[in-house]
Chain A
Amino acid sequence: MKRRHFLGLLGAAGVTMGTGVSAQAASSADVKGLPNAGGVLFDATRCIGCRKCEAACNQVNELPKPAKAFDDLSVLDTIRRTDAKTYTIVNKYVPEAGKPPVFRKSQCNHCMEPACASACFVAAFKKTETGAVVYDESVCVGCRYCMVACPFNIPTYEYDKAFTPRVMKCTMCYPRLLEGKLPGCVEACPKEALLFGKRRELLNIAWDRIGGTPGRYVEHVYGEREMGGTSWLYIAPKPSFAAIGMDENLGTASAPELTSGALAAVPAVAGIWPVLLTGLYAITKRKDKIAEAEKQAAVAAAIATASADAAAKLSEELAKAEVANKRRIEVEVTKALEAAAKAAEEGEDA
């Protein structure tokens, strides 16, 4: 009873996971088809590294002021990454010595099928219809698997908070999008290095720019397919995206594709193992039973042999005893007879 109950529970868990996978697949397909899903196109050939986007991001998200002011461009001399107080940063790269530097902005790429969302075991992340991937701190346990999973090393953590640490990352200014406003950084950019729009249209613009100025751009829109595609798209000057610190070997498989096999195995394992193990147990038990039966038969046989032996021995003993008795009686009788004869002789003598 109890056992079946347990197994049923596990089976149910397996089924939940199974449906979870297909639900995820279905919802991401929906996202891909969302006509209004927004995105941002970043054109590295236009960016001048002014850090106005950083300042705007800081302001609209009400983040703490940095140690060095946003108009201090010496910050660009070292490569930085996002942190718990900074949703976006601009880095300076020098792809070819002697040529002008190239600047690249980085922030959450708002993946079409986000690794962070796929990894989170309380479903704290959600890909919204605006295209933004948002995070709900009210359920976050703080396991940081989202940070492990993100291929772009984007989510950051408030390691210094004892009671309310949060995962921090760019929200694509989701609250502003809902109000019909632009993301803070896009609005602030003086060079139109950032362009907000529908992802599909952004892709067309990106390819038009690449095609319109032959030799200027790398012939690739970064984010079109990387890790299943991202809402944030990048185009960059030659020679390569790697030269501006972007991983060119991410592959096109989305996070759910990478893990769906393992998840799909769960119901199978949960279903097959009990059958297999119970079967094995049955075989073992049968073996035991046969062994037990054999043992009993052996014992019975042993007892039978033993009792036969005992009977034989007994009768032998009895026979022996009889012989011995006979002999003893004979001896006694002889003795008595001899004594009687002697007595008679003596009597005669006397």
Chain B
Amino acid sequence: MSTEHTKSGTLFTPWNILAGIILAAGVVATIMRFTMGIGSVTNLSDNNPWGIWIGFDLLCGVALAAGGYTTSAACYIFGFKRFHGAVRPAILTAFLGYALVVFALNYDVGRPWRLPYPIFYQQGTTSILFEVGLCVFIYLTVLFLEYLPVALEWKRGFDKYRGILIKLTMGLTIFGVILSTLHQSSLGALYLIVPSKLHPLWYTPYLPVMFFMSSMFAGMSMVITEGTISHKYFHHKMDGEYNEGYLDLQFAFAKASAWVMAGYLAMKVLGLAMDNRWPYLFTGYGAWWLFEVVGFVVLPCYCYAVGYRDRNIGLVRVAAPWTVIGIMLNRFDVSLIAFNWQLPSADRYFPSIGEITISLFVITLGIIAFRFIVTRMPIFYVHPAYKDSSH
């Protein structure tokens, strides 16, 4: 990852070679997908119409990009001004995340050129997916506008437009939080329609609330994780303001995550208690449920709490990626593992090499774009020309 000053000879780093292989494989899979149909690269079937392109690319992608709204809300709405330095990396990550989600959707839907239809042509207003689509579409626009000043600082000479955008910051932030609340929860609500297909340990009327709550700590954990990684690779890019706020932010998010996770846990248990679903805990799916909830909610939550109390940043930085994996596990459980649980195992879904390739391809594109932007644009530092700006 340390090849941003690419000189001749440093081109063949392990990372570059790996990225090259993934990109090449991705291009092959892309050509197959768009010339021979979805069936040629996926294991999708009539019983399993949604695979990892929805379970991972969409559900995990959107949850993990939640750092954008959590950070900007903390900074601008709740007034934690000292997190200011973290807003830009978080907005950038969110923007890239959503852009990739939409990009990846083009592979999954049968006729991608019709993706604007539900918004502009004929609206299926009874559909939760309509709400998701509308919110994601508008939110992507909002994130773009929030990110735009960075690009305008990079290519100078647009101060007037940059100024207008900066003035909109507050409005965009509020709007972003509303949209995030709506579509983060709607992703959970997508599954309200399948009480007979989703295992009772995961199916609950609280699904929307649970998806929303978990998006909060998913976003914050991603900000911590991503900050830690960026610190390692882009340290030379970071200025005083970023570095000053950075530790503070990690501790603050650790504390907030611990609280939200505790609330989330309470809801999970309440869900079991209300319908008396305890007996399911003693089945195979029950063991898996406990694995998810104890292993990836209770334990990382505890680490966050202790890490915050003891000012132990190491522990916080362990808890963060752990929580991120937990969120992915939860989204996989709802969309793939506990979904169609009554089908005979022969009819169950497992992703194909082609599907995994495309997903890796999308992630790789994201990392490349992130690297391109942070090595060139004022993300981890304030542009010298705008030192006095409050944005």
Known contacts A139-B114, A281-B174, A287-B79; is A83 also within 8 Å of B46 by CB? yes
Contact A118 B126 (CB under 8 A): yes
Contact A269 B37 (CB under 8 A): no
Query: Could you tell me the distance between the alpha carbons of A233 and B34 in the complex, rounded to whole angstroms?
Result: 41
A200 within 8 A of B: no
Digitize A19-46: 1 where CB-to-B-CB distance is under 8 Å, 0 elsewhere.
Answer: 1110110000000000000000000000
Contacts of A261 in B (CB 8 A): 192, 205
Q: Is the interface of A mostly helix, strand, loop or mixed?
A: helix
B199 to chain A, nearest CB (A): 13
Digitize B234-257: 1 where CB-to-A-CB distance is under 8 Å, 0 elsewhere.
Answer: 000000000000000000000000
Digitize A138-179: 1 where CB-to-B-CB distance is under 8 Å, 0 elsewhere.
Answer: 011111110111010101111111111100000000000000
B386 within 8 A of A: no
Q: Which of B185-219 contact A (CB under 8 A)?
A: 185-186, 189-190, 192-197, 205, 208
Q: How many A-B residue pairs have CB under 8 A?
A: 208
Q: Which of A108-155 contact B (CB under 8 A)?
A: 115, 117-124, 139-145, 147-149, 151, 153, 155
Contact B186 A262 (CB under 8 A): yes
A277 within 8 A of B: yes
Chain A contact residue count (CB 8 A cutoff): 76
Query: Could you tell me the distance between the alpha carbons of A143 and B172 in the complex, rounded to whole angstroms?
Result: 29
Q: Which of A214-271 contact B (CB under 8 A)?
A: 247, 249-251, 253, 255-256, 258-259, 261-263, 265-266, 269-270
Identify the stretch in B117-125, B260-268, B310-318 within 8 Å (CB) of chain A at 4 or more residues.
Answer: B117-125
Contacts of A19 in B (CB 8 A): 125
Chain B: interface size category:
35 or more
- Knowing that A7-B175, A119-B124 are A-B contacts, what are 7 other residue pairs whose CB atoms are under 8 Å apart, sorted by A's residue number? A20-B125, A139-B121, A148-B193, A157-B44, A159-B44, A160-B40, A278-B174
- 16 A–B pairs (Cβ distance < 8 Å), ordered by A: A115-B193, A121-B129, A122-B124, A123-B122, A123-B123, A124-B124, A142-B109, A159-B42, A160-B37, A162-B34, A165-B110, A250-B195, A262-B185, A262-B208, A277-B178, A281-B77
Q: Which 5 A-B pairs have the closest CB atoms?
A: A142-B110, A20-B125, A3-B171, A159-B39, A284-B79
Chain B interfacial positions (CB closer than 8 Å to A)? 34-40, 42, 44-47, 49-50, 73, 76-79, 108-112, 114-115, 117-118, 121-131, 133-134, 138, 168, 170-172, 174-175, 177-179, 181-182, 185-186, 189-190, 192-197, 205, 208, 342
